[in-house]
Every structure is written in structure tokens, then in C-alpha cells.
Structure 1
Amino acid sequence: MNHRKKNNHLSRKFGHRNSMLSNMSSSLIKEKRIFTTLAKAKALKRYIEPIITKSKINTLHSRRNIFSLLKDKIAVSELFKDVFKKVRERSGGYTRIIKVGFRLGDMSKYSLIELVDFNDLSFIKIKKNKRKYTRRSSKKTKNLIKKKDRGRIYEQN
């Protein structure tokens, strides 16, 4: 039976798991997006969303509660800055998980977890208009005829 087993232990003991989730959440707050495995991203989402909800109330008590979970002064101060104003206005769903592919080392599912309101810079690069190579000549060279005598190029009228 699978009753009352709702958290993923991630094959780690309690202290290691909590410190790992704390470090990942503080780096997510600082950098706005991180790459990690899918299982860790899902566990991180459940860990960080209540923290962001607690940051809506800007009191000393909520700051201390969040600091006890994150253990990083810079991340806590960044969470209460005006930059996170958009996040505080949301009613929930602060993070997004995007499946990227598989990690090369062990072929585990690799994903990107990001804060929803900070997706201005997309990690996916848009393809630039690359030059197409065809056998046909371009518009510029259609009007030019190369004569065999002395290798000169003459313009066709």
C-alpha cells in the first residue's frame, strides 16, 4: 500500500535531503532557473512553493521562518525585495518544470525548473535565418553572365 507516502526521499537520509532542497531552493531564488533531474525538480517544487507563499507577508516572523528553511541570508533578502512583487501577486503556481531531455552521464530525466514570472530570457535559442545553399543562383547573380573570354563578368540588360 502507498498510504501516507507523499514525499520523495530521493535515496537520501533526512538531513542530506533537507540541506539539498534548501541549497537548490536558494539557488533557484538567486538565479531564477536551474537545471536538475526531474525527481529533484518535483521535490523542489513542493519545497519552495510554501516558502514563496510565506514571503507574501513581510514581517520579521516570516523572515525568520523562511531563513530557518533556506539558511541563506542573500536568498531571503532577495525573496523580500521589490523584484519579487509579481510573484507575490500570484495566487499560486510560482514554479514551472520543463522537461529538457536526458542527462548524458546516466541517462536520467533532465529538466529545467524556473520561476514563472522571470521567464523573460528564454533558454531556448531561436533559430536565426541561416543562408540556404541551393544549386540555383541567387537574384544577384541571375543578372550576371560570365563570358569565357578573359574571365570577365558582364551585366545582362
Structure 2
Amino acid sequence: MRHNKSGRRLGRNSSHRAAMLRNMVTSLIDHERITTTDARAKEVRKIAEKMITLGKRGDLHARRQALSVIREKEVVAKLFDRLAPRFSERAGGYTRIIKVGNRLGDNAPVSIIEFVDQEQAAE
């Protein structure tokens, strides 16, 4: 039985899954928009929302917690200096997932995950 076991396994062992999700969150914060499968996007959203919340806290402990997930100092600096102030008035829901159809090779459902205020940032 699978009671009280949260999160998707995504066809990987635990260390590979954790590394993949860390890399995807780093790319999302760096580029502010990534294209991936629906299941991966839903898993990345959980971690990305927590990283924005840490960025809004802004203290040294929060920065170190973010570094344990993100692993790139430049991306953590962007998170704390540029992204967190953009979401200072928002209480949650920093990302959106847009379904874009199925992938050609394996017919996997594909989505775009991006930050909610991306249109204002692009202008």
C-alpha cells in the first residue's frame, strides 16, 4: 500500500530524482520559464514555491537553505535580489503551469511552467 507517501517517482531512483528536480528549479529561477512534462512541472512547482518563500524571508538562514537546493550562487542571488521583491505583495501561487499539448516522440503531455508576473518583467 502507498499510504502517506507524497510526491511522484518520475521513473527514477531517489538521488536521480532529487538531482533532476534541483536542476529544473535552478533553470526555472534562472530563465523564469521552462518547458517540461506535466508531472515534472507539478513537482518542480512545489520546490520553486518554497524557494520564493525563502527569498521573501531574506535572512542568512533562508539563503543557506536555498543554497542547499539550488547549488548555484548566482541563481540564489537572483532569487533573493530580483525575484523575491517582485513577489513581496503576493501570499503564494508564484508559478503557473500552461499545458501545451503532447510531445511528438512519445506523446507525453507537455507544459510550460513560469512565474506569474513574467509578462510584466518582459515589458
Does TM, scored on the shorter chain, surpass 0.5? yes
- Matched residue type, 2:89: E
Q: What pairs up with 1:21-100 in 2 under 5 angstroms? A: 21-100=21-100
CA distance in 2, matches of 1:82, 1:114: 15
Please identify the structure whose Cα radius of gyration is greater: 1
CA RMSD of aligned residues (A): 1.6
Q: Are the aligned partners of 1:98 and 1:112 in contact in 2 as well (CA < 8 Å)?
A: yes
Structure 2: 5+ residue runs without aligned partners?
none
- 1:6 match: secondary structure: coil
Counterpart Cα distance in 2 of 1:87 and 1:110? 26
Partner of 1:106: 106
1:55·1:79 contact (CA, 8 Å) conserved in 2?
yes
Q: CA deviation at 1:121?
A: 7.8
Calculate the TM-score normalised by the size of structure 2: 0.91
Q: Is the 8 A contact 2:55 2:84 kept in 1?
A: no
C-alpha separation in 2, matches of 1:79 and 1:121: 14
- TM-superposition CA deviations, 1:49-87 (whole Å, max 9, x none): 111111111111111110001111111000011354122
Q: Which residues of 2 match residues 140-151 of structure 1 at below 5 A?
A: none
SS at match of 2:7: coil
How far, CA to CA, are the matches of 1:41 and 1:80 in structure 2? 22
Structure 2: how far apart are the matches of 1:105 and 1:121? 33
TM-score normalized by the length of structure 1: 0.72
Question: Counterpart of 1:146?
Answer: none
Q: 1:89 Cα deviation (Å)?
A: 2.2
After TM superposition, which residue ranges in structure 1, 4 or more long, deviate above 6 angstroms? none
SS of the residue 2:4 aligns to: coil
Query: Percent same amino acid among aligned pairs?
Result: 45
Q: Distance in 1 between matches of 2:28 and 2:99?
A: 17
Aligned length: 122
Q: CA deviation at 1:88?
A: 2.8
Q: Is the 8 A contact 1:23 1:70 kept in 2?
A: yes
Q: Aligned partner of 1:9: which letter?
A: R
Cross-structure match for 1:3: 3
